[in-house]
Chain A
């Protein structure tokens, strides 16, 4: 099981991209013209780059990279095959969204909506790929809830970080976004994600939980304090410097918590039989 690091990176990056696209979609639906085109383009572009990085990381765990194109052959019965196809389609639709925005100078709501739906299917297929009937430690609803929680938590963070990129100096053809608006969407998504993760913990308590108290408790402490710090940062909305002073440790805490949680997910793997 030495190949888990690349899977940790792959799953977290793809889930983050899906969550950030959902936040972008929500910003477009709820914000309308208040949501800046500048941010729309950067949100989609960052999601695309992160998915591509995730796909790259996933290649690292393969024994023979040259045969990876065969992975699309078993859509009939393999959820791993479906997951790979869905992730590729997700990256494709993000690329279309970026190109559409670059060429036409307008956001394409339908492309983004299709991307959000495909992103949802990516998460579902990813969870189903792990829900093997011979692996009871993964075969429960908590797997999907946990992935959904990670998507919202990391996606909300990614959305907020991209939203807080200073817009000065990027030309005058774009509206300046309303940063408060996007910040709240990111924080709300992260809060919802944390709730899903708490719910996921309740779905399955591993019998082989001998990974140590420090390892077990560090994730909720890191992420809980990260969310609190994030909420506090709203008080300093007028200062970009203070915003980043707060958001930097928030990002470190949330991402570290997610990595710990995902490493633990692979650690509790236990199948029936031999």
Chain B
């Protein structure tokens, strides 16, 4: 069993993410997740409009980009804060996990998390979530989603080291993610060149039926 570095974080380069959803499938496969349970989701954010040109013609101005999102193991995890049973907790290494023996399945964390990370397992009546593939990390491996990514858009590393790397781009939140100040997520997303700022209403999640059951 190897020691897990503290404050691990996922990093996604949205410039090269093609939205293939291999990470999502690898996660489901590795963790044996049933229908409707998605610890990692790939969100397609798109929008656009027609712009009129001076010569009287119209030109399309559309955009679309993908964001692969799982639990961000936030520095101020709201799921841990609101969980009445303390089933949701943040371990010493910073990974947020759920103790299913203590979870009563009230789904309050599901209401609160702005990333939709806690997922309800109806077969067990409890919440479940990404644990950063702790078993793989302890065995010296890497998370299943990172290992499966064909374009290497998804990776991971120590959060402070990732933040110090200037090649990873801006650390501002982009739509459809919420403002970082809400939970201080420990994840970095290199913005797409057409990224919209967080809170923007110019686009919408185009594949909501793939990312949630609501």
A residues near B, CB below 8 A? Answer: 1, 3, 61-68, 70-74, 77-81, 84, 129, 132-135, 269, 271-274
Contact = CB atoms under 8 A, between A and B. Distances in A.
30 contacts: A3-B107, A62-B125, A63-B103, A64-B105, A64-B125, A65-B104, A66-B104, A67-B101, A67-B103, A70-B85, A70-B102, A70-B104, A71-B104, A74-B86, A78-B82, A80-B106, A84-B84, A132-B111, A133-B78, A134-B78, A134-B114, A269-B111, A271-B112, A271-B114, A272-B114, A272-B182, A273-B178, A274-B41, A274-B114, A274-B211
Contacts of A1: 214
B124 A63 contact: yes
A135 B114 CA distance: 8
By secondary structure, the A interface counts as loop
Contacts of A135: 111-112
A63 B102 contact: no
B115 interface: yes
A125 to B, nearest CB: 11
Interface residues of B, number: 40
Given A133-B182, A274-B114, 11 more contacts: A62-B125, A63-B107, A64-B125, A67-B126, A70-B87, A132-B112, A134-B178, A134-B182, A269-B111, A273-B116, A274-B176
Contact of B69 (A80, A132, A133, A274): A274
B148 interface: no
B3 to A, nearest CB: 29
A271 B214 CA distance: 13
B43 interface: yes
Nearest to B208: A274
Given A63-B120, A272-B178, A71 B85 contact: yes
B104 A273 contact: no
A23 B105 CA distance: 36
A73 B114 CA distance: 24
Contacts of A129: 108
B158 interface: no
B113 interface: yes
B172 to A, nearest CB: 15
A61 B108 CA distance: 11
A274 B177 contact: yes
Nearest to A269: B111
Contacts of B105: 62-64, 67
B78 A132 contact: yes
Ranked 6 nearest A-B pairs via Cβ: A63-B105, A63-B125, A273-B114, A273-B178, A70-B85, A81-B84
A272 B182 CA distance: 10
Contacts of A72: 84
A84 B81 CA distance: 16
Nearest to A3: B107
A174 B36 CA distance: 60
A62 B104 CA distance: 6
A67 B125 CA distance: 11
Interface in B88-123: 101-108, 111-116, 120, 122
Interface string B9-39: 0000000000000000000000000000000
A225 B63 CA distance: 52
B205 interface: yes
A62 B124 CA distance: 11
A269 B82 CA distance: 17
Contacts of B214: 1
Given A62-B105, A62-B106, A132-B111, A78 B69 contact: no
B8 interface: no
A132 B85 contact: no
Nearest to A72: B84
Contacts of B125: 62-64
Nearest to A71: B84
